[in-house]
Structure 1
Amino acid sequence: MPTARLEHVNIRVSDPERSAAFFTTLCGWHERWRGPAIDDGFSIHLGTDDQYLVFYAPKEGTSGRFEKGVPLQHIGVEVDDLDEAERIVIAAGLEPFNHANYEPGRRFYFYDWDGIEFEVVSYAG
């Protein structure tokens, strides 16, 4: 049976620079690529050497070809220090919610500036 891994997730945001700066601080990721994207838009690829998020914005003044998908529930990121991650989220003016501590780890959630929900989880003991 073939195996697969999640390579990237492409999300539409209002300000790719702001999102990339925030996730660089939150996750310690590096910029893999930036440049022109579909429909005269702009993208920043941010992550690790093996996986990344794409922060995409259509050309200013247009809605782009694709509307935001309703089925997306949240995107999860794993961090080593959940308390520090929460401080970074709050410092960015975002509001953590739904804190939980159950096997296999602790977690909280937040919405970014575009209403995308993220789960931040730590499996550190």
Structure 2
Amino acid sequence: MSALTQGLQHVGLTVTRLEESASFFTQLLGWKEVSRKPDYPAVFVSDGSIMLTLWEAKSDQPAGFDRRTHVGLHHLALRVDDEKTLQEIHDRVADSGLNIEFPPEYVGEGPSRHMMCYEPSGIRVEFFFNGS
């Protein structure tokens, strides 16, 4: 049976810090802001391949995600072209003061490498270089 779907159209993420999260993607990673819905509120950003919808949480005390106990997004993994770009992202995230879970390292025995950090609202974001 052939797949009935044809890839990812967009991912919607609920964030607690809408403007800071949008800036993470647009300013730190160089994505483009596609549009806004101020009354919702939401910001749509894209790297040209993926579109993210960043929705502002409505609660004053939203529950944070716990990967061991909650069903939902474990992390968002973004592909990068080379090790130099992976290192540049690491340096930019480090300079921004955001939390880095681990710096660039081999996946298993390699040659793929990855790193994991948290964007301003606390969503885990992985950057992955295939290495082959």
Runs of 4+ with deviation above 3 angstroms: 66-69
Does residue 87 of structure 1 match 2:126? Answer: no
Amino acid at match of 1:63: S
Does residue 17 of structure 1 match 2:19? Answer: yes
Give the unaligned 5+ runs of structure 2: none
Where is the strand percentage greater, Structure 1 or Structure 2?
1
1:85-124 → structure 2 map (5 Å cutoff): 85-98=89-102, 99-102=104-107, 103=110, 105-123=112-130
Any conservation in 2 of the 1:25–1:88 contact (CA below 8 Å)?
no
Q: 1:63 aligns with which of 59, 62, 65?
A: 59
- Root-mean-square deviation (CA), in Å? 2.6
TM normalised by structure 1 equals 0.77
Any conservation in 1 of the 2:24–2:119 contact (CA below 8 Å)?
no
CA distance in 2, matches of 1:10, 1:30: 16
Residue 89 (structure 1) shift: 0.8
Residues 10 and 106 (structure 1 numbering): CA distance in 2 closer, same or farther, change over 3 Å? same
Any conservation in 1 of the 2:21–2:121 contact (CA below 8 Å)?
no
TM normalised by structure 2 equals 0.73
Alignment coverage as a number of residue pairs: 118
Residue 79 (structure 1) shift: 2.3
Aligned identity (percent) is 30
Amino acid at match of 1:17: E
CA distance in 1, matches of 2:99, 2:59: 27
